[in-house]
Chains A and B, each alone.
Chain A
Amino acid sequence: MPDPQTGFRRVPARIGTRRLLLAATIAIGTCRVGAAEPGNPSDWTMPAHDYASTRYTDLAEINASNVKNLTVQFTFSTGVARGQEGAPLVVGNTMYIVAPYPNDLFALDLTKPGAPLKWSYKPNPKAAAQGVACCDVVNRGAFYYDGAIYYATLDGHVIAVDAQNGRELWNTTLGNINKGETITMAPEVVKGKVLIGNSGGEYGVRGWLTALDAKSGAIQWKAFSTGPDSDVLIGPEFKPFYASDKGGDLGVHTWPPGAWTIGGGTVWGWISYDPDLNLVYYGTGNPGPWNPEQRPGDNKWTGGIFARDPDTGRARWFYQTVPHDLYDYDSINELILLDLELKGQQRKVVVRPERNGYIYIIDRATGEVLSADAYGTVNSTLGVDLNTGKLKYNDEKKPRQGEVVRNICPTAPGAKDWNPSAYSPRTGLLYVPHTNLCMDWQSYATNYIAGTPYVGADVKMYAGPGGNRGVFTAWDLKKRAKAWEVKEDLPVWSGALATGGDLVFYGTLEGWFKAVNARSGALEWQFKTGSGIIGQPVSYRGPDGRQYVAILSGVGGWAGAIVAGGLDKRDPTAAKGMVNATTDLPDKTTKGGMLYVFALSAH
């Protein structure tokens, strides 16, 4: 149904009647989920809120007129003072939180005062996995499906835990740390299959997305991001829109001999699902090594977006946002599925705020790029050719071995990294948390040694034009232009949340948790948490009927590495150049790992 104000229609966010019936059956039959209904829209059962990845809740109790009364209701320590990138989940009366390594899972009882611990689950991952985690030992959250919590550990295990009692249902090993493989992403469960990919694009890992049976944990299919078509699950049904993606075994031929076996394309970001088209969408990470001169060619299928049939894993289309990536512009960011009226025509699109600095609107049935507009400072490329789909690189800014190329914007983490945007159907705006950084880059030849980094570049980052290192942008998808922006001093590394009360929530690296007006960007409320925020805010209706907003506070990730890892600012290339852009962060925040949950204070 089109929204009366914007003419946009969200993709059916939840699974339909069949799922509800199933849930009801389970509830009655086994009491596993109690009163909780997986289809309840006032819950928060997956990091992106819904399969369309809107991160929007209809809940409207908290709004601009009363948000000043928002106060802390309860807190909970994750016990780990590292980067907290996860999204809390709420299913009925229970909240679930995954900590960074060592990846303990906690269930909190929301019916009792102070939300006490109901149970915890300890997976005991290998300590050595910390050594092959490029950008802090983070975890981006869990996924609730059909009575179980699904999540992955840093050392590459995927685990199903009974949501009711915390008992392990199955535990499947997918990653191998001796090859540099870890897992940091939150899984996505679609039609009884747990979809999960690997991390390790800075270690010469070969990327993949794997589907596991939600009931047993058995591998159903595995789609690599490089190599022969048989490994990438490319067959006759693969119909990419652009000529550059057509041909046999491009995952082999667009590389120097053998380089695809250590070529990256890891899958560590976000997955969306369209039940009508029966397609899942996800992106592939940077090719390895960063030094582009060691891998001439388009390096398929790294740096692009795949659409696949979730039943078989077969690829339907692919679009390469960064062919032969020059700057570590992984293509793994969130993919928001919207039905959008464009030039009088209703289009099923996927919206991607990309690391390379452009917001792409792509036809999600065919893979055709409808538009690509810069939302931040971009000089590394000169736009996207909509006829060929090609990203136009700027020759002046191309890395050359043995030379320092200066003032490249955006930086290696992109105009925006993994931290997801939110979309409000009430305003038609996409809320994009991002950075404003530029960098100097010097490539050098690097060696592949399994289990060690495979990068080959020294980088120094610094503030982009204007001097503010972070931005929170509201982007009008119809006008293809910025509606408003909030400039932040430090890089913005948290996710965004949009609510039916026309508020948008996000956090800052120094620890402010903010609510801004969804229409104007005006700051309506803020609260200083104990550490910097790089987590994903969520909102839900509690068992008492009130609306709550939750966020994990705890600085880290790539942006907060100087604090989480205790790095030394005398070396500007520390944390792959991020330290140079955040030398003041240790003076503004310290390490932490705390959940904060807010609601309107009772009068």
Chain B
Amino acid sequence: MCSRYLRISLVGPLWIVTLLALGGCQREKRQFQSSPVTESGPMQVRTTDLQAGQTTPLQPDARRALYENNAYNLSEGKRLYQWFNCVGCHAHGGGDSGPPLIDSAWRYGGEIEQIYATIQQGRPNGMPAFGGKIPEQQIWQIAGYVRSISGNLSRSASPGRNDEMQTSPPEQLMEKQPPVTSSPAATEGTQK
């Protein structure tokens, strides 16, 4: 791991240029009020890939980029993940009484809108509903962070090290694992 930090520091100047060129604007953007965009999330989100009739793809929420690629929101998401006791059931991504979040398997979908809906509504096999307990903007921040645990984030926006005891690998060093909805497990409730 040291060598990776070293490499990053050696190519520092180049790195900064790349950052500015690629994701700089998103990374540093601050938003002090949640967007007035109509709440899309939960009502339109499905937790299955199987749809009766014609298949219509998930409509991405307008705020997706803001919460997936923004350093402030990701860092807040990480703090709130611990603050609201997500860590008690999912550990630092490896899972406990709840399933792991560090891998590619998602019972109820791994897109940020689906994660938002899962946190907000709860799910039948033990995921509590946090809607009404956690403000919407903070649920988006947590959802963005949860995706980042499996490397699904903009590298430029993620923290390179953990603040506390080294647990799971830093998000920046995590291999990206595209989400796969694992439907049988979603009903069975006994697998990840």
Contact of B83 among A128, A447, A561, A565 (CB under 8 A): A447
A135: chain B residues within 8 A (beta carbon): 97
Contacting chain A: which of B6-14, B41-49, B50-58, B126-134? B126-134
Task: Collect the chain B residues with CB atoms within 8 Å of residue A579's CB.
Answer: 91, 94
Interface presence of A498 (CB below 8 A): no
Q: Is B27 an interface residue (CB 8 A)?
A: no
| Chain A 121-137 interface mask (CB, 8 Å, partner B; 1/0) | 00000011111111110
Other-chain contact of A458, B92, B122, B125, B133 (Cβ < 8 Å): B92
| Interchain CB contact under 8 A, A132 and B126 | yes
Find out whether the CB atom of B91 lies under 8 angstroms from the CB atom of A571.
yes
B117 at interface, CB cutoff 8 A: no
Known: A82-B190, A570-B102, A579-B94. A458 touches B85 (CB 8 A): no
Assembly CA distance A571 to B98 (angstroms) = 14
Please tell me if the beta carbons of B85 and A449 are within 8 angstroms of each other in the complex: yes
> How many residues of chain A are within 8 Å of chain B by beta carbon?
43
Query: A477 near B: Cβ within 8 Å?
Result: no
Minimum CB–CB distance for A38 against chain B, Å: 36
Tell yes or no: A282 within 8 A of B by CB: no
What's the Cα separation between A570 and B100 when bound, in Å?
Answer: 10
How many angstroms between the C-alpha atoms of A576 and B128 in the bound complex?
Answer: 19
Given A447-B85, A568-B100, the answer on whether A131 and B126 have CB atoms closer than 8 Å is yes
**CA–CA, A50 and B54, complex, Å:** 63
Which interface class (under 10, 10 to 19, 20 to 34, 35 or more) fits B? 35 or more
Distance in Å: Cβ of B77 to nearest Cβ of chain A: 16
Chain A residues with CB under 8 Å of B144's CB are none
Contact of A134 among B97, B165, B168 (CB under 8 A): B97
A45 CB to closest chain B CB (Å) equals 31
The chain A residue sitting closest to B124, CB to CB, is A127
Interface of B is mostly: loop
**Do A454 and B91 have beta carbons less than 8 Å apart?**
no
Residues of A within 8 A of B84 (CB): 447, 449, 452
Interface residues of A in 546-599 (CB under 8 A from B): 561, 565-576, 579, 591
The reply to whether A451 and B128 contact each other, CB–CB distance below 8 Å, is yes
- Contacting pair A567 B164 (CB below 8 A): no
The reply on A444 being an interface residue by CB < 8 A is yes
What separation, in Å, do the CA atoms of A128 and B103 have in the docked complex?
A: 23
- On whether the beta carbons of B125 and A128 are closer than 8 Å, the reply is yes
A330 at the interface (CB under 8 A from B): no
Closest to B96 in A: A575
Which positions 466-513 of chain A face chain B at CB distance < 8 Å?
A: none
Name, among A131, A444, A576, A591, the residue most crowded by chain B CB atoms within 10 Å (CB to CB): A131
Which of A452, A454, A561, A579 gathers most chain B CB within 10 Å? A452
Question: Considering the chains assembled together, what is the distance between the CA atoms of A82 and B125 in angstroms?
Answer: 14
Cross-chain contact B96 with A130 (CB below 8 angstroms): no
Chain A residues in 8 Å Cβ range of B93: 568, 570-571, 574
- Residues A568 and B97 in contact, CB atoms below 8 Å apart: no
Task: Give the residues in chain B near A149, CB-CB below 8 Å.
Answer: none
**A567: which of B87, B100, B133, B189 is its contact (CB, 8 Å)?**
B100
Docked Cα-Cα span, A39 to B165, in Å, equals 55
Tell me if A60 counts as interface (CB < 8 A to partner B).
Answer: no
Instruction: Flag if B126 contacts A561 (CB, 8 Å).
Output: no
B24 within 8 A of A: no
- Asked if A446 is an interface residue, CB under 8 A from chain B, the answer is yes
Name the contact of A570 in the complex, choosing from B99, B124, B169 (C-beta under 8 A): B169
The answer to whether B164 touches A458, judged by C-beta atoms less than 8 angstroms apart, is yes
Q: Which residues of A contact B100 (CB under 8 A)?
A: 566-568, 571, 574
B23 within 8 A of A: no
> Please, which residues of chain B bring their CB within 8 A of the CB of A576?
91, 96
Give min CB distance, A156 to chain B, whole Å.
Answer: 14
A202–B85 Cα gap in the complex (Å)?
11
Q: Which residues of B contact A194 (CB under 8 A)?
A: none
Contact B94 A569 (CB under 8 A): yes
Write out the residue numbers on chain B whose beta carbons fall within 8 Å of the beta carbon of A129: 126
Contact A444 B164 (CB under 8 A): yes
Interface membership of A442, Cβ < 8 A: yes
Asked if B125 and A131 make an inter-chain contact with CB atoms under 8 angstroms apart, the answer reads yes
Residues on the A chain within 8 Å of B92, using CB: 458, 571, 573-574
Given contacts A131-B89, A458-B164, contact A570 B126 (CB under 8 A): no
Q: Which residues of A contact B97 (CB under 8 A)?
A: 130-136, 453, 565
| B contact residues around A561 at 8 Å (CB) | 96
Inter-chain CA distance A273–B130, complex, in Å, is: 43
- Contact A453 to B125, CB < 8 A, known contacts A447-B84, A565-B95: no
Are A570 and B94 neighbours in the complex by a CB distance under 8 Å? yes
Is there a chain A Cβ closer than 8 Å to B34's Cβ? no
Q: How far is the CB of A164 from chain B (nearest CB, A)?
A: 32
- Are A565 and B124 closer than 8 Å at their CB atoms? no
Q: Using a CB-CB cutoff of 8 Å, which residues 51-93 of chain B contact chain A?
A: 82-85, 87-89, 91-93
Residue in A closest to B89 when the chains form the complex, CB atoms? A453
Is residue B191 within 8 Å, beta carbon to beta carbon, of the partner chain? Answer: yes
Known: A127-B125, A131-B128, A444-B164. A568 touches B89 (CB 8 A): no
The answer to whether A130 and B125 touch (CB under 8 A), given A458-B92, A570-B102, is yes
Which residues of A lie under 8 Å from residue B94 when comparing CB positions?
Answer: 567-575, 579
Taking a contact as CB atoms closer than 8 A, the residue among A82, A136, A568 that contacts B102 in the complex is: A568
**A43 on the interface (CB 8 Å rule)?**
no
Q: Which of B99, B102, B126 interacts with A128 by CB under 8 Å?
A: B126
Does residue A338 face the partner (Cβ distance < 8 Å to B)? Answer: no
Q: Which of A131, A136, A444 is B82 in contact with, Cβ under 8 Å? A: A444
Closest 5 CB pairs of A and B: A131-B126, A453-B88, A571-B94, A574-B94, A566-B192
A-B contact pairs, 28 of them (CB 8 A): A81-B190, A129-B126, A130-B126, A131-B125, A131-B128, A135-B97, A202-B88, A444-B164, A449-B85, A452-B84, A452-B88, A452-B128, A453-B97, A454-B88, A458-B165, A565-B97, A566-B95, A566-B99, A566-B191, A566-B192, A569-B94, A571-B91, A571-B94, A571-B95, A571-B168, A572-B167, A573-B167, A574-B94
Q: A404-B165, A566-B191, A568-B100 are in contact. List 18 more A-B contacts (CB 8 A).
A: A82-B190, A127-B124, A131-B97, A132-B126, A135-B97, A447-B83, A447-B84, A453-B85, A453-B87, A454-B85, A561-B96, A566-B99, A567-B95, A570-B93, A571-B95, A571-B102, A574-B92, A574-B100
